Amino acid sequence: GIQVEQSPPDLILQEGANSTLRCNFSDSVNNLQWFHQNPWGQLINLFYIPSGTKQNGRLSATTVATERYSLLYISSSQTTDSGVYFCAVLSYGQNFVFGPGTRLSVLP
């Protein structure tokens, strides 16, 4: 089945800093989503982005499907951005597969 890697595994930032999270996947995908999991376990949808670029406020994402990676950019980070960020992908005929996540801590 498809393999998903995320980097870095852990990231500590000062409030106001920018960051880039990466998701690599081993096969072509029909579906790619980025999620933020808050401390209570809720998975919050950030982007549905099987290809192309999207922006939503301080967050933006780019997926280069031909090169099998996606990037999530967080600008001017805030303490409320802390949590775990997951990339999840689906390849045709297979199940939705989550990466191991990037744990982000934003310090005041």
Partner 1 sequence: ETGVTQSPTHLIKTRGQQVTLRCSSQSGHNTVSWYQQALGQGPQFIFQYYREEENGRGNFPPRFSGLQFPNYSSELNVNALELDDSALYLCASSLDGGGMYEQFFGPGTRLTVL
- Residue whose CB is less far from partner 1, 60 or 75: 60
Cα of 101 vs its chain's centroid, Å: 8
Range in contact with partner 1 (rule: CB under 8 A) among 20-28, 31-39, 55-63, 64-72: 31-39
If binding is defined by CB under 8 A, does position 97 make contact with partner 1?
Answer: yes
Interacting stretch for partner 1, rule CB under 8 A, among 10-18, 27-35, 52-60, 66-74? 27-35
Q: Under rule CB under 8 A, which residues in 55-94 are in contact with partner 1?
A: 86, 88, 90, 92
The two beta strands, 43-48 and 52-56, are unpaired
Q: Which residues in 83-102 are b (16+ Cβ under 10 Å) and which e?
A: bbbbbbbbbeeeeebebebb
